[in-house]
Amino acid sequence: MESLVLQPTAVAQWQHLVKEAESSSHCQLEEDLESYLVFLLMRFTGEQGMAARVLTLDYLHALHEVGQVQRGQLRDVGDLCLLHAGLFPLRAQRRRVSISYFVGLGRSAYRHLAGHMPHSSADTYRLGTNYP
């Protein structure tokens, strides 16, 4: 049984866990994507009500927004879908929702987001749609 290695800060802890996951899955993320994932995990640590959100409705509402508000909402939908699919697959099963639902919705949100951003900023969201 492996023991949990505690790091001195929350960022260092998430960084260590992401690196460990990369190693065990034999998948090397690009540095930008790895950093994005670490800060995504930081942003939603302790988030109350994350499980109660209806992400399809959040996505549809985001499509009716414009500018920074739309980009923020689409990013949140993509990020939450990533968390649900990657960290909470049993919660989805209990709700009778397939993991592919979260994967598809998240990819769609990230693609839409990437299409409304400057090219250099959009690359991270485009990359995130290419992983299994």
Higher pLDDT pick, 130 / 93: 93
For the chain, what are the domain ranges? 10-128
- Asked whether the predicted pLDDT for residue 42 surpasses 60, the reply is yes
- Asked whether the predicted pLDDT for residue 129 surpasses 80, the reply is no
Q: How confident is the model at residue 92 (pLDDT cuts 50, 70, 90)?
A: confident
Output the pLDDT for position 88.
Answer: 87
Name the percent of the chain lying above pLDDT 90: 52
Q: How confident is the model at residue 32 (pLDDT cuts 50, 70, 90)?
A: confident
Give the chain as a 3 state SS string. Answer: CCCCCCCCCHHHHHHHHHHHHHHHHCCCCCHHHHHHHHHHHHHHCCCCCHHHCCHHHHHHHHHCCCHHHHHHHHHHHHHHHHHHHHHCHHHHHHCCCCHHHHHHHHHHHHHHHHCCCCHHHHHHHHHHCCCC
CA gap 67, 88 in Å, rounded: 31
Name the percent of the chain lying above pLDDT 70: 90
Higher pLDDT pick, 131 / 102: 102
